[in-house]
Amino acid sequence: MRSVGVEEELLLVDGESGEARALSHAVLARAARDGQGDSEAFEAELHRQQLEFATSPHEKMPDLAQEIVRWREQAARHAETLGATIAALATSPLPVSPTVGSGERYQWLEDQFGLTTQEQLTCGCHVHVHVESDEEGVAVLNRIRPWLSVLVALSANSPFWQGKDSRYSSYRSRVWGRWPSAGPVEIFDDAAAYHRQVDAMVATGALLDDGMIYFDARLSANHPTVEVRVADVCLEPSMTVLHAMLVRGLVETAAREWRAGEPPAAHPVTLLRLANWRASRSGLDDRLVSPVDMRPVPALDAVESLFEHVRPALEEAGDYDEARSRLDRVLRDGNGARIQREVFARTGSLRDVVEECVRRTSHPA
């Protein structure tokens, strides 16, 4: 069974006002003093209002779920000593003036990309799934491309931006797409072609290094994994676990197709970009672009198409029943974007939106 690891970016918010606070360095210092291994799990991100953690790789989803809850709870505990807490929000609902970190890398990004860097206070979820080789990994990347837009819609958790409704479900993905190396990519002939493209991109001088290869899905530079990077950070741990299940199912399904000699769908990048835009706009509340034929379909149909596509892999991994239950709950209750908007419609308060999201962030998975 393929192992899975998750990286989540969390928003640090004031415990009273709900406004984002630039406390990552202080929270990391608290974690380092804790002495329970927290400092190895947490790290700073581009902005000081963010905190990131990474899980260990797991084969069993209950183990992954337990670790996600653990690190969210630990992050909240460290933040609370500073009068703050954490929220699994992909953008801040309340207005914020982002503070870029002081590290050399972050300063280079700010110097080179200006306002684009300033505005990148966004929190995502990255899922790593083990692959046997770069050849298998690139074969997987080629075959999962059409399905990634559905993951954007499912995970959408960023409807508000600078105190206003963006009219998107995942505005984070629109902001993230401003990086010149972000987004979907073409089909690669083999692993060598993939690496040649990465090298050529870095050689332009527009990117600092291969860590700035922000493809929707890429080969990890540090682990033998495919890294799927399209999702907003999910509001509740249960949503993150569902996302990880679906990503592992996609990777396993794609690898089987490759071994069977089935070619990848030849959808051009231009259509994939449109599918991603539609998903970020609609979430689960309107039409999406079908991963099969690139035509508009109800969101539910696109989601069910994804689920059926990975069903054999889910069943073999023993994940099917749990994934079905979690998916049904999201389809019934809504993703993070719908939940945020429902709170705002009921209360008229973005502070209440943040408060509700804080409450849901550390819910058991």
Question: What's the CATH code of the domain at 16?
Answer: 3.30.590.20
Q: Give which of 125, 124, 3, 10 is closest to 78, Cα–Cα.
A: 10
Into how many domains does the chain fold?
1
Contact, 220 vs 208, CB < 8 A? Answer: no
The Cα 302–Cα 154 span in angstroms is 10
Radius of gyration of the chain (CA): 19
Mean pLDDT for the stretch of residues 118-145:
98
Is residue 36 predicted with pLDDT exceeding 80?
Answer: no
Going from the C-alpha of 353 to that of each of 89, 336, 358, the distances in angstroms are: 10, 11, 9
Contact, 354 vs 13, CB < 8 A? Answer: yes
Contact, 303 vs 154, CB < 8 A? Answer: yes
Is residue 39 predicted with pLDDT exceeding 90?
Answer: no
Exposure on the CB side of residue 357, measured as CA atoms within 13 A: 40
Residue tagged 């929270």 (tokens): 27
Mean pLDDT for the stretch of residues 332-360:
98
> 285-334, pLDDT tens digit by residue?
999 999 999 999 999 999 999 999 999 999 999 999 999 999 999 999 99
pLDDT of residue 114: 97
The Cα 230–Cα 317 span in angstroms is 23
Helix (H, G, I), strand (E, B) or coil at 95: coil
204: how many CB neighbours lie within 10 A of its CB? 9
Q: Give which of 147, 162, 82, 190 is closest to 350, Cα–Cα.
A: 162
pLDDT of residue 342: 98
> 236-281, pLDDT tens digit by residue?
999 999 999 999 999 999 999 999 999 999 999 999 999 999 999 9
Q: What's the domain range around 181?
A: 4-361
Mean pLDDT for the stretch of residues 72-95:
96
Contact, 151 vs 246, CB < 8 A? Answer: yes
